[in-house]
Amino acid sequence: MMKGNYSEQEHKMKKTIEVLLHEFGTIRAGRANAGVLDRVTIDYYGTQTPIHQVASISSPEPRILVIQPWDTSSLKVIEKAIQTSDLGINPQNDGKVIRLSFPPLTEERRRDLIKQVHKLSEDAKVAVRNVRRDAIEIYKAKKKKSEITEDDLKTAEEDIQKMTDQFCKDIDLAAEKKEKELLEV
Average pLDDT rounded to a whole number, residues 18-23: 89
Domain 7-25+106-184 in CATH: superfamily?
Ribosome-recycling factor (1.10.132.20)
| 2 has a pLDDT exceeding 50 | no
DSSP code, position 118: H
Cα of first residue to Cα of last residue in the chain, in angstroms, is 51
Helix %, strand %, coil % for the chain, to 5? 60, 15, 25
Q: List the chain domain ranges.
A: 7-25+106-184, 34-101
pLDDT category, 26, cuts 50, 70, 90?
confident
CA angle 171, 10, 36 (to 5 degrees): 45
Kindly report the CATH class assigned to 34-101: alpha beta
For residue range 172-185, list pLDDT tens digits in order: 999 999 888 877 75
| 29 has a pLDDT exceeding 80 | no
Most confident of 43-57, 72-86, 139-153: 139-153
For residue range 94-130, list pLDDT tens digits in order: 888 888 887 777 788 788 888 989 999 999 999 999 9
Q: Can you tell me the distance from the alpha carbon of 38 to that of 121, in angstroms, rounded to the nearest whole number?
A: 19
Which of 9-13, 23-27, 45-49, 95-99 has the weakest average pLDDT?
23-27
| 17 has a pLDDT exceeding 90 | yes
